[in-house]
A and B are shown apart, each in its own frame.
Chain A
């Protein structure tokens, strides 16, 4: 326990230092290529999608439900936290003496993020309850519907800017990497600890065979709803961060595309594999950005940006995946320092292949401990 708190503190300190360093590098223009745009596109957005993918992995990968509504939770978190900041926090902040502004901003941002997370968790509960009755395709359709309803709702609420988008959200100076990284790490840590606990097997048993889980006395409903609530909570917090970094959010930011992209990440990484979600989440987002670097092509007399085809590329990736590696990049396994070392030691000399061990939950205890 003491050890964990120690490493937790170390991780936070490293994040903070990196955050300051990045901030200085970006705005001091230390490197030509590290601009505000590349900072956002290659560091912040991938971190955001790591959070989304890992949190959806809890729902889709670990308890084996098929949710297509992650953008909905993301939107709820973004809009409601932004609403709090615009309608309440800004007023409070104006009354704070200048010397305390920094601390107050920090606190209010934390509060906004918690409100976003809490609201999304509440919606997760509301959406999670129907999973008592819905399975498979029906659940996918219901959650898809939820995501769209949320978006259309915000599109029509004048309080939240309707179609013009919700603008004027306070963006606080120096807000970036630290919060994004902290949220991603928190999401990974919670997922991993859930899996390692005695509840972990129960979550997995729901995915494996619900009837069998029920006759073992596992309250399957409880676990399915819990997965929804926790997953939604992190998606909501991610939305809150997005809103407060960008300063404005638009209904199109939360279209069905987002849900589909996040599902793609989970499937690509291997359903149930946390490290797989991390790799796929960051990888796909960076790939998308790299597509933007390709030159514009002319097809049928029209100009196209290669990144316009990203959904096609994702579809292709998914189809190829289903054909050649249906279990995803990592399958049900996790990437750990132990496996990395095994791969490295295997590649040069094939003779000394260590015996392949069956991955068990207890051996996963090694992964990702070292920072």
Chain B
């Protein structure tokens, strides 16, 4: 069962003089939810941005399945099936929900668009009701659903979610996490970055703890939940 789909080795990323990542390594197994937890500024988002080539690493290797993707441009990485739902949702506010979903399918344009739309509506029925509404007028929770739905339109083979719980009411956070688990159960491996460590570790198979640009700990999610140091630092004792 354990088969590595994504491998990051010794990744360094710098923003000017500031070292954001100082040698990070991680693997994502097929079929699993892998989560990265850590405080603000630990470099979690930077790691995802480096994988989807929005920032260029100064050193290190990113492997996806059998190929080295470290130097590929962003759109090639999307074509390979690595879909990034960026922090802050980043939906196209001026466009309709439908147009947002269509753009999600940009990299995988094809005949089965309607079928994919139906699949997204099965997961997020509310998007169907709001189809012609301007995306900027959606509530925060609906915007997050749209961001995830848009990513699903690209037929992800690895879904990367950056802080999907950000700014959502607690009941919505639970709903979103349920959906993430549901998507994973349909066979999509997920790399999840979260500050809400408790929720993330509950649904994840494996967890990494990132601190100021370095991976300090990795274990199964269940073990991390029981780890006294993790409990102390991230789970409120």
Chain A complexes with chain B: yes
Q: Which residues of A are at the interface with B, using a C-beta cutoff of 8 A? A: 198, 201-202, 204-205, 208-209, 211-219, 332, 358, 360-361
B53 nearest CB neighbor, chain A only:
A214
- B179 within 8 A of partner (CB): no
Instruction: Given A217-B78, A217-B106, check contact A212 B94 (CB 8 Å).
Output: no
A208 B94 Cβ-Cβ under 8 A: yes
B side interface size, CB within 8 A = 31
Q: Mark out the residues of chain B between 80 and 104 whose CB falls within 8 Å of any chain A CB in the assembled complex.
A: 83-86, 90-96, 98-99, 102-104
A204 B95 Cβ-Cβ under 8 A: yes
* Residue picked from A205, A212, A216, most chain B C-beta under 10 Å: A216
B85 nearest CB neighbor, chain A only:
A215
B90 A212 Cβ-Cβ under 8 A: yes
Instruction: Given A209-B92, A361-B99, check contact A215 B133 (CB 8 Å).
Output: no
The distance from the CB of B163 to the nearest CB of chain A, in whole angstroms, is 14
- B9 within 8 A of partner (CB): no
Instruction: Given A208-B93, A358-B96, check contact A216 B103 (CB 8 Å).
Output: yes
**Beyond A201-B99, A211-B90, A360-B132, 14 extra complex contacts between A and B, CB < 8 Å:** A201-B103, A208-B95, A209-B92, A211-B54, A212-B92, A214-B54, A214-B74, A215-B86, A216-B150, A217-B106, A217-B107, A217-B154, A358-B133, A360-B96
A212 B109 Cβ-Cβ under 8 A: no
Bitwise interface map of B from 124 to 145 toward A, beta carbon under 8 Å scored 1, else 0: 0000000011100000000000
Which residues of chain A are within 8 angstroms of B150 by Cβ–Cβ distance?
216
| A332 CA / B92 CA spacing, docked (Å) | 14
| A112 CA / B235 CA spacing, docked (Å) | 72
A216 B106 Cβ-Cβ under 8 A: yes
| A292 CA / B96 CA spacing, docked (Å) | 45
Instruction: Given A201-B103, A358-B133, A358-B134, check contact A215 B96 (CB 8 Å).
Output: no
The distance from the CB of B158 to the nearest CB of chain A, in whole angstroms, is 13
Instruction: Given A198-B109, A209-B90, A358-B132, check contact A218 B54 (CB 8 Å).
Output: no
- B79 within 8 A of partner (CB): yes
A360 nearest CB neighbor, chain B only:
B96
B162 nearest CB neighbor, chain A only:
A215
B94 nearest CB neighbor, chain A only:
A208
Which residues of chain A are within 8 angstroms of B79 by Cβ–Cβ distance?
217
B99 A360 Cβ-Cβ under 8 A: yes
Which residues of chain B are within 8 angstroms of A358 by Cβ–Cβ distance?
96, 132-134
Q: A217 contacts which of B75, B92, B95, B96 (Cβ < 8 Å)? A: B75
- B167 within 8 A of partner (CB): no
| A302 CA / B235 CA spacing, docked (Å) | 78
A215 B54 Cβ-Cβ under 8 A: yes
Q: A218 contacts which of B75, B93, B98 (Cβ < 8 Å)? A: B75
A212 B86 Cβ-Cβ under 8 A: yes
Interchain residue pairs with CB less than 8 A apart (28): A198-B109, A201-B99, A201-B103, A202-B103, A204-B94, A205-B92, A205-B95, A205-B103, A208-B94, A208-B95, A209-B90, A211-B54, A211-B86, A212-B86, A213-B103, A214-B52, A214-B54, A214-B74, A214-B75, A215-B74, A215-B85, A216-B107, A217-B78, A219-B73, A332-B94, A358-B96, A360-B96, A360-B98
Which residues of chain B are within 8 angstroms of A212 by Cβ–Cβ distance?
86, 90-92
| A214 CA / B79 CA spacing, docked (Å) | 11
| A358 CA / B135 CA spacing, docked (Å) | 11
| A332 CA / B74 CA spacing, docked (Å) | 28
